[in-house]
Amino acid sequence: MKGLSLFANVGVAETYLENLGIDMVLANEIDPKRAKFYKHLYPSTEMIEGDITDNKIYNKVVSKALDYNVNFVIATPPCQGMSTAGKKNDLDPRNQLVSYAIDIIKELKPAFVLLENVPQQLKTKIEFDGEYMLIPKYIKYQLEDIYLFNNDPIIDCANYGVPQTRQRSIFLLTRKDIGNRWEFPKQNNKIVTLKEAIGDLPSLDPLIYDVSYEKHLSVFPEYEKKMEEAEKVSKWHTPPKHIYRQVMAMRYTPTGKSAFQNEKIEHRPHTKDGRIVKGYKNTYKRQSWDRPAYTVTMYNRTIGSQDNVHPGRPIGLDNNGYMIYSDPRVLTIYELLKVMSLPTDWNIPEWASEHFIRQVIGEGIPPLLVKQIVSQIVENEEFNIAI
């Protein structure tokens, strides 16, 4: 099968498709850095860099896809306008981008299409013919004459061996002449917890970057020793950088709890001038060992964002009798690779900054989920005969 990736990011979703015999021959991505990253990962894929709303780029994508005889399309339009981690703005122009993917699908009429976005997509409206229409209704209105749709578009990655709770809205489209409906695979019986995914990795202290190194070492006297042990695991298991007051709040935060719940007010998050920070209980929060990780977002480098902090372990009492916990930091890139079901030897380009790597990982679909979904096509004899 020949594949096209729209809104390709860096190709996280496509990681294991080659192993299934899917040849991703073409991709489109607007951001030059993401397009460069994608080309680094998939040198044999033709990358068309540019804005799909530009007629020149749009027509080039369609023309090349026809030349390649593309019969599989994966489209992952931006979700920032709909995501619960974003502003959930119905009028965000990025929400409208799905219409360009639909137009391309109508022109190519590939055998199979995977359309992915956040669950909020099901409740988001876009403009069509001067009126506002829910995105699912729009997609079906445009494509139901050509395609069969899967019955239930909501799926949670945690039910498919991914150590992360991440709900997605995924439409699986099968061209009607093929005669069979593409559905999600059966759920796994075993949920992979965070402990199973990263619990065997060595503890790692963060680097406090807004104080002197001497003060940093006074807080974490084993910092350098721990860093050396972590580097033996991977060059991507390196200390995240955080500010002093956030680290100190998280040191007193138990596994599975938010720093806003800390017993002593002085141990709760506060501003530089000492005022107590106000926030939701899923921010400044440690994850839990006994369940999958929470959804990895673009903001996974930030302690104060949603559910980002390492679970930690109790390591002893301070001089005042309060328990201190290890690893007051976000997950390392290496830990994120495991949580996202990416290979731990993922071929990350040397030029990519830590901030950028974290962003593109947070925007991706766990590739193990995609692999299992697409396997339904590859392993189905009726689909193969039709193709």
Query: Is residue 305 within 8 Å of residue 287, measured between CB atoms?
Result: no
Which entry of 12, 27, 65, 79 is annotated as an active-site residue? 79
Measured distance CA(366)–CA(355) in Å, rounded:
19
Q: What share of the chain is helix, strand, coil (3-state, %, to 5)?
A: 35, 20, 45
* Burial (0-12, 13-18, 19+ Cβ within 10 Å), 312: buried
Q: Which residues touch 49 (CB under 8 Å, ≥6 apart)?
A: 28, 29, 30, 32, 35
Please confirm, yes or no, whether 79 is among the known catalytic residues: yes
DSSP tag of 186: P
DSSP 3-state of 141: helix
Q: What angle do CA 164, 90, 74 make, to 5 degrees?
A: 50
Residue among 91, 70, 98 nearest 169 (CA): 98
Strands (E), 245-296: none
DSSP tag of 288: -
Active centre residues (catalytic): 79
